[in-house]
Amino acid sequence: MTETFVVLEGTAGVGKSTLLAALAEELRDRGESVTTAPEFADAEVGQYLARTLADYGHERHRERALTLLADTLASLSYQAETMIQPALAQGDTALSERWLDTVPVYNAPHVAEREGVAMAETLAEFRAAMPVEPDLTVLLTVDDATRRERQQRHRPELLDDGSVPDRYAERQQRYRDLLAGREDVLIYENNGEISTAVADIAAEIQR
């Protein structure tokens, strides 16, 4: 298989991190060379973003909407230049948890609400400047019961906020609207066993 860049997108609780690791292992077992990029860049810019998201609540995220948007773009561009582009250049399959499609779903709406500025044109220009573009974006979705069960096991703090279910549904719909009609997108209902999801998505990658 030639070099391929695959992104796993979706809201919290859909299984991105678990599937990223399992999919990488499966592809390596099939003889592929695989590079994985986590959600946050392994650099100061990514660690700042991770700390900010972990340490502050939803209202503080709104207060820092523009900073978080800019830092997310910086983190992704750092990964593009230091991880994804070099991996593709040597013929690897590159797998990433989240990419630019997360920004109009999570970050841009807060900027629009707080500053009154729509970021669509800016984000389009940023995308055009990126040195890499995904060959396949997999949008993972789950039903609400599955999401809550996974969050209870892995991120129970998210269930303490009563607004989470509404935000989940709203963000999932934003993803669907954003990605609708794109030929490079697979929408995958990730309610079942991880082994099934890995086999199904690996088959799409290796077409």
CATH 3.40.50.300 correct for 4-205: yes
- The pair of structure tokens assigned to 189 is 């209902």
Domain boundaries, given as residue ranges, for the chain: 4-205
Global model pTM greater than 0.85: yes
Closest CA to 132 of 93, 85, 92: 85
* Position 53 confidence tier, pLDDT thresholds 50, 70, 90: confident
Q: Name the token pair of 59.
A: 């209202």
- The answer to whether 107 and 68 have CB atoms below 8 angstroms apart is yes
181 vs 8: CA distance, rounded Å: 17
Interval 186-205: pLDDT, tens? 999 999 899 999 999 999 98
**What pLDDT does residue 45 have?**
86
Query: Per-residue b/e over 156-194, b at no fewer than 16 CB within 10 Å?
Result: eebeeeeebeeebeebbebbeeebeeeeebbebebbeee
Reported residue count of the chain is 207
- Predicted confidence (pLDDT) per residue in 58-98, tens digit: 667 778 899 999 999 999 999 999 999 999 999 999 999 99
At 207 the pLDDT is 58
pLDDT in tens, 111-127: 999 999 999 999 999 99
Would you call 118 helix, strand, or coil by DSSP?
coil
Q: Kindly give the residue spans of alpha helices, DSSP state H, lying in the chain.
A: 16-29, 44-55, 58-63, 65-79, 85-89, 102, 108-115, 120-129, 144-154, 164-179, 194-205
The per-residue pLDDT of the chain, averaged, comes to 88
